[in-house]
Structure 1
């Protein structure tokens, strides 16, 4: 058997590679994205598995141990009420990341739905894009503050303080963060619906719903995934800002923003209480942003084909 024939046989015997293997190969070439992925996975593991290992109650108040520095009993020290800062950071990270991911999913759903409908159905495009522009023109932080102030008490009474505030913050962030996704998806759909495979599907009488689900939506997943990573970072920052302003979760319910808020009064005496949650927020946001940059490059066929 010649060398050329042997190569053909080897190539035929190899399992076929799908698109996601090519995406992963391109993603691995982005050093910043790999470092970001490693850091984000480490943070996720620390906030999910960490409380099982370090099982101190983050809400336990020990006045005798208040304002202590790092020690074997409290590696990151304690706050003004004697609560363990390491336990509070891990518990707060779980809440902040959960809010970020859930709000991102809501914003992604709304943005994708509105973008696909506006791009594919011409008769409602003007109305939907005008609504998107209206939301983009609103001052988001005052709008968030208004929503949280108005609905905080009713939802807390109905679902409990923690659950009610969680859903309120997720809803408030989600319904004010979908606009950029909608504009990106609409642009992609406008380009895709003029492609040959969509025109061919329309010519044989394929229903609009089937064309959207089978032909349009799978081809806009790349920008949607990139938008998702950036949405997580924005949602985490927004939740931290709300908690820092005292409009987030209850005082005894730790989040990274709440830990920052509690530490502001004693920032000059105990700067580590501000540094630790600030570093946690910064690392999480930076790692997610780098992952988004890597996905953007990996999912771009022009770059992947080089």
Structure 2
């Protein structure tokens, strides 16, 4: 083959390059990705730029009274709360906790859902019991179940791990343990279709062990729906944590999260609406951007849609 002919031969196209090219055509998903990355940078890099303690309360009662519930200004870009604490610092600190809860709880839910879905789809004798368990958990009301878990285990974990770490472990475990069912159903459906494909039948015919078949042939082919479920799970976990904190059953009062800031600001909402505006806007932007990212990933990872 001559050099001129060799240059005409196209290089093999990467699957993830095709996914990225399709993802870029989805304007909402691309915008959502930039907004989500900007929010992550805001809550992680922001505290180094705006180095104010989010829990600092002026020990002088007279000065504390003079600085509480202040509107946005150059000194306090987002105003202050009822104790004179800087709202910008508290929103950034609360974002670290809320986004961390979303990511960790999503990881737990996706791991559990993928495990249950793969086992149910691949092994017929496990399909019935695991799917009935999934239906049982789906039938339970989510918020009352979370409230019961918080009441039962919050004090014990707080004594064992400390109030902040114990509450974090409890919240992410409770949300993850009650959010895996949708991922399990999606993965099971994909596995039921995959196990009849030629490459899986060929691997089974040569005596491939089940664990190797799952790791080498099944999981790489179900990663697309799992990634979509993971992005949507982040938004769901953030909303659930915000609801628990809004009800006063989340993190301790001196440990800010976006839901806790909303809970504290409701009492002052009519006089100082900015108290609920900033954390509510942060939650809305995060959830909306993650939902757009999930929508774009769903289109980009579907070969039937890619290229349209």
TM more than 0.5: yes
Cα distance in 1 for partners of 2:41, 2:106 equals: 20
Q: Distance in 1 between matches of 2:112 and 2:8?
A: 44
Of 36, 54, 69, which residue of structure 2 is paired with 1:58? 54
Give SS of 1:304's match: coil
Q: 1:151 aligns to what?
A: 153
Residue in structure 1 matched with residue 30 of structure 2 by the alignment: 34
- 1:91 pairs, out of 90, 93, 99, with 93
Residue 188 (structure 2) aligned to one of 182, 186, 193: 186
Equivalent residue for 1:259, pick from 258, 261, 265 = 261
**Partners in 2 of 1:289 and 1:130 — Cα distance?**
29
CA RMSD of aligned residues (A): 1.4
The residue aligned with 1:10 is: 7
Q: What is the CA–CA distance in structure 2 between the aligned matches of 1:69 and 1:198, rounded to whole Å?
A: 63
Q: Which runs of 5+ in 1 are unaligned?
A: none
Whole-angstrom CA distance in 2 between matches of 1:166 and 1:10: 56
Spell out structure 1 runs of 4+ moving beyond 2 A.
Answer: 8-12, 14-17
Q: CA deviation at 1:67?
A: 1.2
* CA distance in structure 2 between the aligned counterparts of 1:292 and 1:110, rounded to whole angstroms: 19
Structure 2 gaps of 5+ residues are 59-63
1:212 CA drift (Å)? 1.0
Of residues 191, 199, 202 in structure 1, which corresponds to 2:201? 199
Return 194-203 or 291-300, whichever deviates more: 194-203
Post-superposition CA distance 1:205-262 (Å, at most 9, x none): 1111111111111000000000000000000000000000000000010000000000
Instruction: Give a deviation string over 1:49-89, Cα, whole Å, max 9, x none.
Output: 00000010000113131111111111010000000000000
User: What's 1:23 paired with?
Assistant: 19
Tell me which residue corresponds to 2:124: 122
Distance 1:132 1:70 in 2: 48
- Structure 1, residues 176-211: CA drift from partner, whole Å, max 9, x if none? 000000000000000000001111111111111111
Aligned to 2:279: 277
Distance in 1, Cα, partners of 2:207 & 2:154: 50
Could you say if the C-alpha distance between residues 65 and 304 of structure 1 is closer, same or farther in structure 2, counting changes exceeding 3 Å?
A: same
TM-score computed with the length of structure 1 as normaliser: 0.96
CA distance, structure 1, for counterparts of residue 239 and residue 43 of structure 2: 17
The separation in 2 between residues aligned to 1:178 and 1:158, in whole angstroms, is 27
Choose from 59, 81, 84 the match for 2:83. 81
State how far apart, in whole Å, the 1-side matches of 2:153 and 2:212 are: 39
Q: Which residue of 2 aligns with 1:109?
A: 111
Q: How does 1:129-148 map to 2 (within 5 A)?
A: 129-148=131-150
Cα distance, 1:29 vs structure 2: 0.2
Tell me how far apart the structure 2 counterparts of residues 299 and 123 of structure 1 sit (CA, whole Å). 31
Contact 2:22–2:307 under 8 Å retained in 1: no
Displacement after TM superposition at 1:11 (Å): 4.3
Deviations 1:97-136 (A, max 9, x none): 0000000000000000000000000011100000000000
* Aligned counterpart, 1:47: 43
Aligned length: 302
**1:163-174 superposed matches below 5 A:** 163-174=165-176
Query: What is the SS of the residue equivalent to 1:302?
Result: coil
Contact 2:71 2:274 in 1 (8 A): no
* Aligned mates of 2:7, 2:166 — CA distance in 1: 59
